[in-house]
């Protein structure tokens, strides 16, 4: 198989639009990716033909909708290489998945227990752990990041000890593009007796994930970055771990028996899916996963790398651009500062050329501080971007530079 980005982008109706009279060049997919027709049609098709609440019905539409919802869980199981659908919990996204683990697993923690994070984490993988620090006196330790944006493995290992209970680290950084050596991270954490949660919000979009081969304990991701809808994501958890965790939220569907005196809980994954779930969003996520998995994912990854390489080549070492994150083998994310310019101004000028990039802290303030920056601009590439767009981006950067030089 191979991959044709021009054919793929025709599946994304929004990419045909213009911004400020220019063809849209969407380089903000790390924040949220655009949606292919397969997702749009799966969701509208469900509303038009087979929609009801799930799990509680006897009637045909309830059964059909339940089947569609559970089929989406099977798609996510395949995406992550999990052994059972019962290890896949639907959540609102990565943020909720991490909050679920911090909240439920956190109930077993005591003051002085340690959680190891890294300096390159998104706030979604920092703040829920801070809650445990504030409430329980759990200690947070941050593995250092090297100047080129790698995780400092020696520094990481030095943080592991007898009180380490959890290592929670991003698989791929949303700012640096760094892909962390997760197999080593997991092996070291397990040797120290700690569990591992990987924040897969970025990595799952660009690489093949196999939770069983990794032997990871928890894996979190969001649908909307994976060409699916917002409001849905998933948490993978090893069966025996999920079974050992108390519920996260209470309500319908997550119970065994409820009486005036007592409650019992359903088995995972339903124990963690209180209330009516995001049904249409699950259907959309299932469609996104099936669509993505039908592509040659290695060819897609090679294409995305080529886009990043092309921008670097076109900029040709321009000394007015400082890139943060140059780790070998990194993913297709280009975070940078332009000499003399604020990142917001850069993003605003690029917008006039029809180019969408993100500017700010990217919800990673500790990382920004590590690099002595208050913000950066970020171009993030997806499978629907083309080499011509990479060229146009580099050219627009050169023009933007003239406003500040
Ligand atoms: N983790 C990483 C690495 C991310 O890039 C993001 C989103 O930008 C998140 C977590 C949070 O994802 P969400 O807002 O979909 O929950």
Q: What is the DSSP string of 316-348?
A: TT-TTEEEE---TT--SEEEEEETT--HHHHHH
379 and 239 within one domain: no
Task: State whether 304 and 356 are in the same domain.
Answer: yes
Q: Give distance in angstroms: CA of 313 to centre of ligand 1.
A: 29
Q: What is the mean pLDDT of residues 62-83?
A: 97
Q: Is the pLDDT of residue 219 over 90?
A: yes
Indicate if 280 and 252 belong to the same structural domain.
Answer: yes
Q: Which of 234, 272, 251, 255 is nearest to 105 (CA)?
A: 272
Query: Distance, CA 198 to ligand 1 centroid (Å)?
Result: 12
Ligand 1 center–CA 120 separation, angstroms:
12
Residue 25 lies in a domain: no
34 is catalytic: no
Q: What is the mean pLDDT of residues 242-255?
A: 95
Q: Is 142 strand, coil or helix?
A: strand
Ligand 1 mutation pick, 92, 120, 122, 204, max ligand atoms within 8 A of CB: 122
Same-domain pairing of 324 and 278: no
Give nearest CA residue, ligand 1 atom 8: 31
Q: Which atom of ligand 1 is nearest to the CA of 170?
A: 3
29, part of any domain: no
Query: Which residues, listed in sequence order, are joined to residue 22 by a DSSP beta bridge?
Result: 19
Structure tokens at 67: 């089947």
Q: Domain check: are 371 and 264 in the same one?
A: no
Spatial distance between the Cα atoms of 16 and 179, rounded to a whole number of angstroms: 31
My answer on whether 321 and 205 are in the same domain is: no
Asked if residue 234 and residue 127 are part of one domain, the reply reads yes
- Residues 98 and 231 reside in one and the same domain: yes
pLDDT score of 298: 97
CA of 124 to the centre of ligand 1 (A): 6
What per-residue confidence (pLDDT) applies to 56?
Answer: 77
Write the CB contacts of 21 (distance below 8 Å, at least 6 apart in sequence). Answer: 354
The stretch 38-61 carries a mean pLDDT of 95
CA distance 383 to 387: 11
Section 251-267 average pLDDT: 95
CA distance 116 to 168: 6
Quick one: pLDDT band at residue 251, thresholds 50, 70, 90?
very high
Out of 258, 293, 328, a domain closes at 293
CA torsion angle for 65, 67, 69, 75 (degrees, to 10)? -150
CATH for 302: 3.90.1150.10
What is the band of 317 on the pLDDT scale with cuts at 50, 70, 90?
Answer: confident
* Structural domain span for residue 340: 296-401
Q: Are residues 271 and 322 in the same domain?
A: no
Minimum CA distance residue for ligand 1 atom 4: 201
- Residue 34 lies inside a defined structural domain of this protein: no
CA 405 to ligand 1 center in whole angstroms: 34
User: 221 C-alpha vs ligand 1 centroid, how far in Å?
Assistant: 8
Task: Identify which of 31, 92, 94, 227 to mutate to test ligand 1's pocket (most ligand atoms within 8 A of the CB).
Answer: 94
Residue 127 Cα to ligand 1 middle (Å): 12
1: confidence class by pLDDT, cuts 50, 70, 90: confident
Residues contacting 325, CB < 8 A, separation 6+:
148, 149, 173, 175, 176, 177, 178, 333, 335
Which one of 252, 268, 293 terminates a domain?
293
Nearest atom within ligand 1 for CA of residue 124: 10
At which of 248, 273, 293 does a domain end? Answer: 293
Q: Are residues 163 and 86 in the same domain?
A: yes
Residues 153 and 269 in one domain: yes
- Decide if 1 is inside a domain: no
**Domain presence at residue 15:** no
Ligand 1 atom nearest 222 alpha carbon: 15
Atom of ligand 1 nearest to the CA of 94: 16
- Note the pLDDT of residue 90: 98
Residue in the block written with tokens 């003051």: 111
Pocket of ligand 1 (CB under 6 A): 31, 93-95, 122, 124-125, 170, 174, 199, 201-202, 222
DSSP string computed for 143-193: E-B-TTS-B-HHHHHHH--TTEEEEEEESB-TTT-PBP-HHHHHHHHHHTT
> Is residue 23 domain-resident?
no
* pLDDT single digits (tens) 127-178: 999 999 999 999 999 999 999 999 999 999 999 999 999 999 999 999 999 9
Residue 232: inside a domain: yes
Chain-centre distance of CA 95, in angstroms? 9
pLDDT mean across residues, the chain: 97
Query: Which residue out of 102, 363, 379, 390 is catalytically annotated?
Result: 363
pLDDT digits (tens, 9 = 90+) for 367-380: 999 999 999 999 99
Write down the H helix ranges in 245-296. 279-293
**How high is the pLDDT of residue 283?**
98
Average pLDDT over residues 185-207: 98
Atom of ligand 1 nearest to the CA of 31: 8
| Residue 9 maps to a domain | no
Q: The tokens 């109930």 sit on which residue?
A: 107
SS3 351: helix
Same-domain pairing of 323 and 247: no
Q: Whole-angstrom Cα distance, residue 68 to residue 284? A: 10
pLDDT at 280: 98
**Does 57 score more than 90 pLDDT?**
no
Q: For the domain that residue 277 is a member of, what is the CATH number?
A: 3.40.640.10
The count of structural domains within the chain is: 2
Long-range contacts of 102-107 (CB under 8 A, 24+ apart): 102/128, 102/129, 102/131, 102/132, 103/128, 103/131, 103/248, 104/245, 104/246, 104/247, 104/248, 104/272, 105/166, 105/195, 105/245, 106/131, 106/132, 106/135, 106/136, 106/138, 107/246
Give 321's contacts (C-beta < 8 A, 6+ positions apart): 315, 336, 337, 338, 339, 397
Residue with CA nearest ligand 1 atom 6: 201
Residue nearest to atom 14 of ligand 1 (CA): 95
Token readout for 189 is 């954490």
The torsion angles phi and psi of 174, rounded to 5 degrees, stand at -75, -10
């Amino acid at each position: 198989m191979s991959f044709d980005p021009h054919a793929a982008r025709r599946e994304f109706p929004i990419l045909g639009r213009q911004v400020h009279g220019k063809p849209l060049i969407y380089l903000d997919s790390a924040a949220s990716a655009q949606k292919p027709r397969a997702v749009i049609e799966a969701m509208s098709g469900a509303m038009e033909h087979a929609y009801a609440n799930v799990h509680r019905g006897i009637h045909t539409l309830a059964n059909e909708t339940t089947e569609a919802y559970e089929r989406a869980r099977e798609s996510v199981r395949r995406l992550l290489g999990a052994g059972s659908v019962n290890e896949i919990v639907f959540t609102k996204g990565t943020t909720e998945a991490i909050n679920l683990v911090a909240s439920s697993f956190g109930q077993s923690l005591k003051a002085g227990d340690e959680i190891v994070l890294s300096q390159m984490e998104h706030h979604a993988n920092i703040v829920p752990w801070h809650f445990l620090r504030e409430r329980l006196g759990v200690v947070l330790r941050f593995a250092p990041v090297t100047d080129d944006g790698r995780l400092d493995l020696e520094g990481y290992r030095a943080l592991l000890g007898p009180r380490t209970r959890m290592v929670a680290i991003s698989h791929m950084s949303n700012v640096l593009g760094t892909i962390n050596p997760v197999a080593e991270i997991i092996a070291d954490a397990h040797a120290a007796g700690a569990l591992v949660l990987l924040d897969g919000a970025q990595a799952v979009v660009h690489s093949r994930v196999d939770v069983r081969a990794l032997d990871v304990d928890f894996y979190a991701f969001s649908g909307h970055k994976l060409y699916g809808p917002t409001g849905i994501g998933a948490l993978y958890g090893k069966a025996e771990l999920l079974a050992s965790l108390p519920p996260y939220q209470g309500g319908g569907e997550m119970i065994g028996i409820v009486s005036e005196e007592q409650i019992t809980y359903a088995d995972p994954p339903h124990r963690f899916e209180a209330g009516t779930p995001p049904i249409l969003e699950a259907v959309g996520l299932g469609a996104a996963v099936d669509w993505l998995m039908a592509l040659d994912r290695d060819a897609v990854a090679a294409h995305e790398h080529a886009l990043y390489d092309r921008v670097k080549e076109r900029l040709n070492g321009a000394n007015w651009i400082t890139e943060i994150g140059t780790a070998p083998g990194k993913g297709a994310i280009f975070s940078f500062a332009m000499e003399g310019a604020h990142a917001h101004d850069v993003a605003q000028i690029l917008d006039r050329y029809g180019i969408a990039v993100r500017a700010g802290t990217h919800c990673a303030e500790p990382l920004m501080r590590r690099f002595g920056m208050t913000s950066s601009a970020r171009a993030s590439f997806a499978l629907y971007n083309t080499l011509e767009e990479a060229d146009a981006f580099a050219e627009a950067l050169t023009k933007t530079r003239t406003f500040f030089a």
